[in-house]
Amino acid sequence: MKSFPIRLQQDGTITVPKLIQDKLNLHEGDYLNFLEIGELIILTSKQPKVPQLNEQITAIREQEKVSLEELLEGLENERKIIYKEKYES
């Protein structure tokens, strides 16, 4: 998992690092979304397909007693598996 620090400007704007812009094929004027899951904020380049995604993730996480750290670790592992299937096959 990588972390990319960004700074909130006085007028409320942020700058998405060039590396991320290139990787996600982002261009000026593209819309980004903040998704709040517990204490975690995720910036995504796509609108969630299900408006209740946050509530569903939180409910499942609480029901299964999965911490945010465990969820993120699992997501990172899934990303690695998908990457291998897609690019290393």
- Taking the C-alpha atoms of residue 31 and residue 56, their distance in angstroms, rounded to an integer, is 23
Q: Where are the domains of the chain?
A: 18-87
- The amino acid occupying position 46 is K
Residue 12, pLDDT score:
92
Q: pLDDT (tens digit, 0 to 9) for every residue of the chain, 89 residues total? A: 678 888 899 999 999 999 888 988 888 888 888 888 878 888 887 765 555 677 788 888 899 999 888 988 888 888 888 888 888 86
CA atoms lying within 13 Å on the CB side of residue 8: 1
Residue 83, pLDDT score:
85
Helices (H), 1-89: 18-23, 53-63, 68-87
